[in-house]
């Protein structure tokens, strides 16, 4: 009987110990979780104060959506993109914002202070032609206009792949009737020519078979003013400045700010771009095919930079073979980067105002060498 009585009293004691240990573990987990949440909140608030000032403590928009130009109030900051069934998207005509303004044709405005010579120079390309991260009069096309006294039409559109720039150039040359074209592109523009969805937006794309191009995805699916979807992670965490900062530092933009969908086989971008060169040569005006480079080009590993160089060299060879005028900014920019440093020439990724002034000077020197245009600013 005594054994049974001890067993009967021992069981509850064991259960109480188990419950006590479980409660202790739960309390520890809760304390750790609370500490992590408080730490993250303090880091978030500190990050906001340092990066954006006190106003950011009460204003929590989705930063990923704003960076992609798809937020509800982003038009007051910079012009949103307009849907285009032939090219995917363009800059909206007549758009006015804090740093970027477009004229009635959707071209980026320049601050012309005098009568300009005509016919104009037409500049096409992606964000490095448009001049992201600087004001209207700080882009290199605006600087080139000031140096030459000749009208420069800045038809650059952020995010364009090389194929979109080529299609845009074909469409604009008959309309603008330029003296010549400067068609800017970056190494990344070649790769994006393989995509049917870039920056979460549908675009046209080409495939190459037997040395011939086939155009796909035209008309481009979509509707004017339709919202551009964000990847799922950014929909949930895009309001947090700390998350946004981590994504930028780790280079995880793809899958956070935007999605991509491949249309052409991986690695076919160079062949597609090369087959577009004869189409550009058939436009009837001189076309300067100019390679530009982001901040990342100068800071990435030597292996990746060599890969970019091989890709650019191949494309430039195709341009020359088609009768176009290749101009690679890498070599003339190298000495400037060595002398001034990357930070003097770039902002987060694109050229600073100083960087664009240098690019405009290098472009002008090449155009003078080619006898396409002359300096008229007296410098």
User: Residue with structure tokens 């410098």?
Assistant: 379
Do 341 and 250 lie in one domain? The reply is yes
Fill in the DSSP letter of residue 106: S
268: which 2 tokens? 């076919």
68 assigned to some structural domain: no
Do residues 51 and 85 both lie within one domain?
no
- Six-digit token string for 230: 């964000």
pLDDT of residue 240: 84
Q: Note the pLDDT of residue 72.
A: 54
We report the CATH number of the domain holding residue 176 as 3.40.50.1110
Angle 304-308-310 from CA coordinates, rounded to 5°? 115
**For position 48, what pLDDT does the model report?**
83
Q: Say how far apart CA 286 and CA 326 lie, in whole Å.
A: 11
Q: What are phi and psi of 16, to 5 degrees?
A: -65, -40
Q: What is the pLDDT of residue 379?
A: 55
Whether 256 and 359 map to the same domain: the answer is yes
CA distance 184 to 127: 9
Examine residue 235 and state whether it is found in any structural domain, yes or no.
yes
In a domain, 378, yes or no: no
| 49 and 104 co-located in one domain | no
> Is residue 161 in a domain?
yes
Q: What is the pLDDT along the chain (379 residues), one digit of tens a residue?
A: 444 544 445 556 666 666 666 777 788 888 888 888 888 888 878 888 777 788 778 888 888 777 776 555 554 455 778 899 999 999 989 988 877 899 999 999 987 667 899 999 999 999 999 999 999 999 999 999 999 999 999 999 999 999 999 999 999 999 999 999 999 999 999 999 999 999 999 999 999 999 999 999 999 999 888 878 888 888 888 888 888 888 877 777 777 778 999 999 999 999 999 999 999 999 999 999 999 999 999 999 999 999 999 999 999 999 999 999 999 999 999 999 999 999 999 998 999 999 999 999 999 999 999 999 987 765 5
Do 201 and 229 fall into the same domain? yes
Confirm whether 177 is domain-assigned.
yes
Do 163 and 218 lie in a common domain? yes
Length, in residues, of the chain: 379
E strands, the chain, are 82-84, 88-90, 117-124, 150-154, 180-185, 195-198, 201-202, 205-209, 212-216, 261-262, 287-291, 325-328
Are 163 and 191 part of one and the same domain? yes
d(CA 149, CA 284): 24
pTM of the model: 0.84
Instruction: Say whether both 7 and 154 belong to one domain.
Output: no
Assigned domain for 66 exists? no
Confirm whether 175 is domain-assigned. yes
Say how many C-beta atoms besides its own lie within 10 A of residue 350's C-beta.
Answer: 21
Q: Classify residue 62: in a domain, yes or no.
A: no
Q: Are residues 94 and 48 in the same domain?
A: no
Q: Are residues 145 and 200 in the same domain?
A: yes
Residues 125 and 192 in one domain: yes
Q: For position 326, what pLDDT does the model report?
A: 98
Are 199 and 256 part of one and the same domain?
Answer: yes
214 touches 205 (CB < 8 A): no
The label of the residue with tokens 């009967």 reads: 8
Domain extent for 51: 2-57
Question: What is the per-residue pLDDT for 45?
Answer: 83
Checking 196-200 for CB contacts under 8 A at 24+ apart, the result is: 196/261, 196/262, 196/263, 197/259, 197/260, 197/261, 198/88, 198/159, 198/161, 198/258, 198/260, 199/68, 199/159, 199/228, 199/257, 199/258, 199/260, 200/68, 200/228, 200/229, 200/230, 200/231, 200/258, 200/259
């Amino acid at each position: 009987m005594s054994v049974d009585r001890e067993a009967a009293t021992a069981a509850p004691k064991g259960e109480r110990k188990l419950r006590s240990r479980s409660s202790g573990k739960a309390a520890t987990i809760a304390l750790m979780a609370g500490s992590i949440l408080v730490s993250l909140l303090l880091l978030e608030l500190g990050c906001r104060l340092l990066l954006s000032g006190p106003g950011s403590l009460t204003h929590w928009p989705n930063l990923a959506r704003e960076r992609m130009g798809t937020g509800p109030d982003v038009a007051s900051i910079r012009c949103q993109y307009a849907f285009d069934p032939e090219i995917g998207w363009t800059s909206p005509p007549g758009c006015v914002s804090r740093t970027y303004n477009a004229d009635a044709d959707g071209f980026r405005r320049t601050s012309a202070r005098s009568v300009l010579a005509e016919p104009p120079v037409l500049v096409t390309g992606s964000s490095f032609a448009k001049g992201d991260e600087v004001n209207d009069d700080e882009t290199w096309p605006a600087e080139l206009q000031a140096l030459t006294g000749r009208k420069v039409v800045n038809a650059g559109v952020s995010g364009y792949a090389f194929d979109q720039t080529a299609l845009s150039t074909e469409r604009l040359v008959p309309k603008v009737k330029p003296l010549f074209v400067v068609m800017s592109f970056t190494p990344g523009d070649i790769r994006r020519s393989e995509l049917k969805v870039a920056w979460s937006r549908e675009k046209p794309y080409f495939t190459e078979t037997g040395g011939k191009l086939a155009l796909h995805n035209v008309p481009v699916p979509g509707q004017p003013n339709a919202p551009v979807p964000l990847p799922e992670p950014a929909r949930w965490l895009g309001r947090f400045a700390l998350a946004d900062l981590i994504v930028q530092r780790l280079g995880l933009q793809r899958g956070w700010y935007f999605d991509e969908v491949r249309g052409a086989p991986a690695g076919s971008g160079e062949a597609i771009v090369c087959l577009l060169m004869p189409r550009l040569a058939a436009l009837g005006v001189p076309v300067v095919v100019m390679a530009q480079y982001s901040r990342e080009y100068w800071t990435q590993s030597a292996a990746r930079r060599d890969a970019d160089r091989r890709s650019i060299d191949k494309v430039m060879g195709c341009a020359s073979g088609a009768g176009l005028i290749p101009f690679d900014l890498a070599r003339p920019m190298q000495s400037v980067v060595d002398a001034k440093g990357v930070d003097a020439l770039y902002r987060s990724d694109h050229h600073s105002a100083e960087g664009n002034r240098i690019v405009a000077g290098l472009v002008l020197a090449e155009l003078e060498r080619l006898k396409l245009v002359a300096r008229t600013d007296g410098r």
